[in-house]
Homo-oligomer: A and B are copies of this chain.
């Protein structure tokens, strides 16, 4: 039973069906097909705001292209110390931007805090060209800890960010899980809260390989983003198949349903852990990731019984358990049962 990552789950049948449907006849190459051309309008509807959308196959590329476009090479990107862009992308943001510096900050439960952010920005860059220059704030929604920023938190961060002349990026690899948990309109945690650009991900949420850079305002960024996507080798010739995934996800709120399902499984798991004498939650469970403290032997025993999950680097008593649309209630039940049994 796989709790390792939502990345390891298969593609949702509706997405496979959309791919099959898109596979009719010819389509103009390089994102000029009718699926790709429909994205701007479709996302504008979903976000209730005119926006521009670049389909792209991976979140790492989406994040890195956004960062490289907005931040000059001497820029500093303020992010949480657990941020994926800082820890898990092999230096992709630095590569795409020709050497941006990521500045990792603390913050409870994986969330940046407005006041600490303000201080970090204000204390950086004081020596002009001798320092890198804060250029961008990047937050992850839902966070690496499985928690979710509230709209007011994002507004607070955006205010700090914009007052200082920086832009705000949101890494939304699990954006759907955040929206589903908050049960809010996606606008409330993006452009209405001050987000300038969103990496909108659906790969973890049941797609095959489909993400999008969604730009709110800032038409001046478009050319550079398109050029960087091409130079990064990310302008797929048969882009229709990426765009078709995105469109299918937005159809009838499939993206939110799948995320809600994953969240529900995580909540179920969290309840089981809370009630178990053998384990404890590390952080509040809001999206689809569950962080569980338990004795290393117990964790190993679960693994031996066929439950797959990751141990948090450097913490052998902390397990990360991820649920996806494909996780069955019964799988969670079994995990809880074993946890209490051992």
Binding site for B on A (CB under 8 A): 2, 4-5, 7-11, 16, 19-20, 23-30, 56-62, 64-65, 72-74, 87-92, 94-102, 123, 126-127, 129-133, 203-204, 208-209, 224, 226-238, 241, 308, 313-314, 326
Contact = CB atoms under 8 A, between A and B. Distances in A.
Contact of A94 (B94, B204, B234, B238): B94
A8 B23 contact: no
Q: Find the residue from A20, A98, A204, A308 having the highest chain B CB count within 10 A.
A: A98
Given A74-B228, A88-B127, A90-B230, 14 more contacts: A7-B29, A8-B26, A19-B19, A26-B308, A57-B57, A58-B233, A60-B230, A88-B131, A89-B230, A90-B129, A92-B230, A92-B231, A94-B101, A203-B237
A209 B57 contact: yes
Contact of A130 (B90, B209, B224, B234): B90
A74 B90 CA distance: 7
A227 B58 contact: no
B91 A74 contact: yes
A7 B236 CA distance: 10
A213 to B, nearest CB: 12
A232 B230 contact: no
A56 B96 CA distance: 18
Contacts of A88: 127, 130-131
